[in-house]
Amino acid sequence: MKQGFWKNLPIPAVLLAPMANVTDVAFRSLFAKYGPPDVYWTEFVSVEGLLSEGREMILPDLWFEKNQRPIVAQIFGNKPAQFEQVAFQLAAMGFDGIDINMGCPDKNVLKQGSGAALCQTPELAKEIIAATKRGAPKLPVSVKARIGWNENEVERWVSDLLEAEPSAITMHARTKKEMSKVPARWDVLKQMVSFVAKEIPDKEKRPLLFGNGDVFSLEEADRRVRETGVDGVMIGRGIFGNPFFFNREKNITDLSIAERLAVLIEHTNLFEKYFGAGTAPNGGRLKNFAVMKKHYKAYVNDFEGAKELRVALMAAESLAEISKILQSHRYEL
């Protein structure tokens, strides 16, 4: 059942979560430099969008560099035929795997019958996995999901997914209804691991099982693996402001304030390189500079004067302005 790079992945593994307008090629470049995860994910991308006239503006969400491997492309939608077509394209782009988003709780995604809505239509979910495999028969196909819609349905839902034989399942430990409003329910992930072990006694024939939700350090990830038996942990919000997250030798807290802010500037430079002025087909920007501001909130914390500096950075509209602000606050980089 485990295909491609999943067969040789070090277990337990730590994975970089797919997050729209966060885990782009620029941010992943910092992880590749300062502390790589065991697997990288792209931002999630609409299959319908990739088959539309607006494809060229969406493709940058799938950009990756050769030092960002293994790299998994995450896609979402609700039409199996579109998944098959896009899977064929992704294989040609050189991805190491394809992941299907069956967990996003965003209202616009749910209205399409995509993301977390697929747990309510398991037959369609299985068709989508099968279609993706047909489109890219040499690539492993995985799934990222939630434990249920309004309540814990993990056994029923995972049973459906197992029938489609994905190489890996990453389960976010909350329902769609819970969003991120309650603590992640890791006890349910322990239940999932036990259930899959009973359903498929031969460990070699099981998909890899990963947990996701409320993990903010590698030590916590290690503890969750011990407590639940998952094969590893996917990290989402915990990586904000910390491209050293996966580095077991050095963390962002080991850096001086000036060094941390130098990483902020490096990140901004990379963002402008890939998505700044002149990168769009019309000569404009591929991504609004405001995308970087969620990162500034995370980088500038827990030191004297951080609040004032953060407020100033949130008003900036360019790399040049960011540099001037840091200098005016007496941070020479």
Strands annotated E in the chain: 13-16, 40-46, 71-76, 97-102, 141-146, 168-172, 208-212, 232-235
Q: Quickly count: other Cβ atoms within 10 Å of residue 29's Cβ.
A: 21
Copy the structure tokens of residue 26: 């620029």
Distance between CA atoms of 186 and 266, rounded to whole angstroms?
A: 35
Q: Please state at what angle helix 186-199 crosses helix 218-228, rounded to 10 degrees.
A: 50
> Mapping DSSP to helix (H, G, I), strand (E, B) and coil, where does residue 265 land?
helix
Transcribe 5-64 into DSSP letters: GGGG--SSEEEEPP-TTTSSHHHHHHHHHH---SBEEEEEEEHHHHTSTTHHHHGGGG--
Copy the structure tokens of residue 280: 């769009």
Q: Which of 13, 32, 73, 104 is catalytic?
A: 104
Distance between CA atoms of 220 and 232, rounded to whole angstroms?
A: 11
> Pick from 49, 148, 182: which is nearest to 108 by CA?
49
Q: List, in order, residues 6 or more apart from 220 with CB less than 8 Å away.
A: none
Copy the structure tokens of residue 12: 């337990």
Q: Does 104 participate in catalysis according to the annotation?
A: yes
Residues annotated as part of the active site? 104
